[in-house]
Amino acid sequence: MGDLFIWLISFFILIALLVLIVYQLMCLADLEFDYINPYDSSSRINKVVLPEFILQGILCVFYLLTGHWVMALLCGPYLYYNVRLYTQKKHLVDVTEIFNMLPREKKQRLFKLGYLVLLLFFSLFWMIWSTLEDMDD
């Protein structure tokens, strides 16, 4: 039963990460179609970048502490990429360069979205697996 709660927590953290990424993509799409100005778009995106990084780090540490080594290894590249962006100070969107970097920023977030959806499917699989395993006992 404990594994089920671990996978539920993991599921909700992944959903929160997906919401943050989709929000950033919506801000970029609004900017692309001229619904909001560059300052508003970059400030909205920059407000959620650090919580996204922190939540991803919490998820990876959570997998490590609960002994789910495969999921921790799957979270590793994404966590490394976020840490690298943060240490190189490339994690925030610059208001003066946002139009020039728009295709790159959208592509970056689409890759993150795909990666998180993959992690979500793995998490759902293991959640269902642990539920069925608990029912057998």
pLDDT tens-place string over residues 86-115: 999 999 999 998 889 999 999 999 999 999
CA angle (108, 37, 84) in 5-degree steps? 25
130: confidence class by pLDDT, cuts 50, 70, 90: confident
Mean pLDDT of the chain: 93
Q: DSSP of 72-111, one letter per residue?
A: HHHHHHHHHHHHHHHHTT-SSPPTTTTTTTHHHHHHHHHH
* Cα–Cα distance, 57 to 77 (Å, whole number): 11
69 residue type, one letter: W
pTM of the predicted model as reported, rounded to 2 decimal places: 0.92
Residue 19 structure tokens: 């919401």
Q: What are phi and psi of 37, to 5 degrees?
A: -85, 165
Instruction: Give the residue numbers spanning the domain of 16.
Output: 1-136
Q: How many domains does the chain have?
A: 1
* Neighbouring residues of 82: CB distance < 8 A, sequence distance ≥ 6: 52, 53, 56, 57, 91
137: confidence class by pLDDT, cuts 50, 70, 90: low
Entry field: residues in the chain: 137
Q: What are phi and psi of 118, to 5 degrees?
A: -60, -45
